[in-house]
Structures are given as structure tokens and as C-alpha cells.
Structure 1
């Protein structure tokens, strides 16, 4: 487990990613990351995956096109 701090920058709260964290994510400054909330409330940080990004974009389009039907099902 790696510990990091949350600090204020302007009106935002930011978390610093150490060099070790970036290496584990195979990421570098300027890269995009995904933050996903798990069923138990935990957050998972993942390096941006182009194929996952494309799948999520396609899902967003389908949900927008079927918003009324999805709301009735909810």
C-alpha cells in the first residue's frame, strides 16, 4: 500500500501521484487516468485504455438513444 496526501490547489483538492505510483500505472505526467468506483465504495485508478474508452463512448451513445426506455426500466 502506498500513502499519499490530498492538498488544496486553488478551488480543487488534488492527490499527488508519486514516481512509484506512476511506474505502477505505467503512466507519465499529462496522461489520462480512469477512476472507477467499486460496489463497496472503493476507488480504483487505472491507466487510460483506448479500447475501454471506445467501449465507454459507445455505451454512452446507446444510453442516450434509449434514455426513456432505460428510465422506465429503472
Structure 2
């Protein structure tokens, strides 16, 4: 487990990500992180947008199912 503190900056509360956390996330300063709530009430940090990932997976299925039609239209 990694511990970090929440501190006030202006009107916001911020959490510092340590070098270890950034390494685990494979992220760097300036990257966008996505936060989703887990079933147990926690939060999960991710470097990829889960909604976009899900949409791309669905599109891949549709393209696979209609490959011949899509090739004919191209």
C-alpha cells in the first residue's frame, strides 16, 4: 500500500502522486488520468478512458461481423 496526503491548494483539494505511483500507472506529468468508482466504494485511477476502451471494443466486434460489407463499401 502507498500512502499519500490530501492538501488544500486554493479552493481545491489535491493529492500528490509519488514517483512510485506514476511508475505503477505508467504515467508522467501532464498525462490525463481517469477515475472510476469501484463496486466497493473505492476509486480506481487509470491512464486510459474506460468508456472509450469499451466503445472501441464494441466497434471492433461490429467491424468483424460486417467485414465483407465494409470492404465492399470501401
With normalisation by structure 1, the TM-score equals 0.66
Per the alignment, residue 71 of structure 1 pairs with none
Per the alignment, residue 6 of structure 2 pairs with 6
Give the unaligned 5+ runs of structure 1: 57-74
Runs of 4+ in 1 over 3 A off after TM superposition: none
Query: How many residues are matched?
Result: 55
Say what the alpha-carbon RMSD is for the aligned residues.
2.1
With normalisation by structure 2, the TM-score equals 0.66
Which one has a bigger Cα radius of gyration?
2
Cα distance per residue 1:9-51 (max 9 Å; x no partner): 00000000000000000000000001110111010111125x8
Matches within 5 A, 1:38-57: 38-49=38-49, 52-53=51-52, 55=55
Give the unaligned 5+ runs of structure 2: 57-74
